[in-house]
Amino acid sequence: MLAGAKSESGQVLVITAVVLVGMIAVLGLVISSGVIQASRRQAQRAADAAAQAGAFQLLAGTNSTQRANARAAALRYASLNGVSTNNALVEIPPAASSSSVYAGSNYFIRVEVTLPTQIGLMSMFMNLATANVRASSTAGVPLDPYGVNILLMGPGHALSVSGTGDVDVGSGTIRVNSSHHHAVELNGSASITASTLYVNGNVSTMGHPTINANVVTGAPAVADPFAGRSWPDPSAYSTSSDSGGTAAVPKAKKITGNATLHPGIYYGGIEITGSGTITLLPGRYIIAGGGISQAGSASLNGTDVFIYNTRDPYASGTAANYGDLDLGGGGDVNLKAPTRTADSTYFGFAIVNDPNPFNTSDIEMKGGASQTAAGFIYAKNSEVELTGNGNIGNLGIVAKSLSVSGNKTFGALDPNRAPDANWKVTLVE
């Protein structure tokens, strides 16, 4: 009996030891899993905070100094959230290898952090004392006036570049919301140069066109950045002393030589012919019907100028209706939008087509020895057409569609002449 009891007692001890080992393993797994989950949350918080902090710095711009400031801010916030700066990877813009939808887009920052975590009791059963917990976050502004040169919001063939046409936005980006399979069309020897071309639909080519850009198809459409804004109401403005007509009897202002025009309402529009030099003094120009036509070799110049193209609400007939803005002809165009100091409401806008859905009048900049603009063209329901060759200046375009048949090089957007779209830094990935 004593020998049997000892034998059973030994078996119990062995079983107990085995059970205890299993219990310790399970306990270690539970505890370590909890620790890893807590570390994962901490790592994600650190990545999110770092990405947001960096993105806020990028709102000021993306030159080397501003990128350095963004990187420093990201690393600082990673450190404040318990991540060593040696374990934080900052990409401005997100690298192509990251598979980010925003890879190559200037106003986005991607942060990846690694948080070494002690795994406690689990280390007794694994040849591993720590686990590297990783998290990443991408932040930026889904559409930013300083980072996106062109946004086209219409359906169908939204961007058309034909013949020897060339759209060159340098390191800027182009976004096309159309889901059409020919949302972007390039024909002949046309070309597009950009850091990234985002297209909700697809790109169609014919002939031997060239695309020097990172092309992202299936990209999410972005909202109209200027929707909900209040635009000029003619009843709140005075008729310009240079207007050719009145509210009741609109008539185009006809110019055949040199002229200096004053701000205000132009009932019936403006017609420019001949070879003179037309200077727009700083201010707001409300084109109430008729649009603007520029022909011959006349040149059009204006600094701190905002042009709003609408209709005459007090009259009817052709002169009162929405009209095209036909700029260029054989002459020069040099228009600069107001700075914030010059116009605290409409700063950054060079030309705005009344967004009323009935206003489908086009904006054309064609021919001309020189066509330069600084600021944004906003034409929600209209096509913008660019022809001729040369540098188009520091111009941004938010429109229904864009057609280009000349060589147009867009300069870097001027942050002093870019509108405030009230966009906010957002965690996007």
- Domain assignment present for 284: yes
Look up the pTM and report it: 0.68
Whether 348 and 228 share a structural domain? yes
Instruction: Identify the domain boundary among 140, 167, 191.
Output: 140
40 falls within a domain? yes
> Does 388 or 242 have the greater pLDDT score?
242
Residue 383 lies in a domain: yes
Tens digit of each residue's pLDDT (9 = 90 or more) over 277-325: 999 999 999 999 999 999 888 899 999 999 999 999 999 988 899 999 9
Q: Is 331 domain-assigned?
A: yes
pLDDT tier, 146 (very low <50, low <70, confident <90, very high otherwise): very low
Task: Return d(Cα 188, Cα 207) in angstroms, integer.
Answer: 5
Q: Are residues 116 and 250 in the same domain?
A: no
| Distance between CA atoms of residues 385 and 162, nearest Å | 12
299, 394: one domain = yes
Residue 249 lies in a domain: yes
- The answer, yes or no, to whether residue 28 has pLDDT greater than 70, is no
Which of 25-39, 141-155, 378-392 shows the lowest per-residue confidence on average (mean pLDDT)?
Answer: 25-39
Distance CA 233, CA 76 (A): 47
Q: Can you read off the two tokens belonging to residue 372?
A: 């330069």
Domain limit, last residue, from 107, 140, 173: 140
Residues 93 and 232 grouped into a single domain: no
Q: What does the alpha-carbon distance between residue 172 and residue 71 come to, in Å, rounded to a whole number?
A: 20
Summarised one tens digit per residue, pLDDT across range 117-127 is 776 655 555 56
In the prediction, which pLDDT does 253 show?
A: 97
On whether residue 252 sits in a domain, the answer given is: yes
Domain identity same for 229 and 378: yes
**pLDDT of 368 strictly over 70:** no
**Inter-residue contact 325 to 292 (CB < 8 Å):** yes
Residue 96 has pLDDT above 60, yes or no: yes
- The closest of 240, 250, 248, 247 to 319, measured between CA atoms, is 250
For residues 228 and 135, state if they share a domain: no
Same domain, 232 and 364: yes
What tens digit of pLDDT does each residue of 161-176 get?
988 888 888 777 899 9
Domain that holds residue 240: 224-420
pLDDT score for 429:
83
Q: Are residues 133 and 228 both part of a single domain? A: no
Query: In one letter, which amino acid is 332?
Result: D
Q: What is the pLDDT of residue 308?
A: 98
Mean pLDDT over each residue of the chain, to the nearest integer: 85
Q: What's the distance, CA 18 to chain centroid? A: 63
Counting every residue written for the chain, the total comes to 429
Domain count, the chain: 2
- Residue that is last in its domain, among 140, 169, 202: 140
Same domain, 228 and 134: no
User: Is 313 among the domain residues?
Assistant: yes
- pLDDT at position 187 over 80: yes
* 171 found inside a domain: no
pLDDT surpassing 80 at residue 389: no
Per-residue model confidence as pLDDT tens digits over 37-94: 888 899 899 999 999 999 888 866 677 888 899 999 999 999 999 999 999 999 999 9
The reported pLDDT for the residue numbered 126 is 56
In the chain, what is the straight-line distance between the N-terminal and C-terminal CA atoms, in Å?
71
Q: How much of the chain, in percent, has pLDDT values that exceed 90?
A: 53
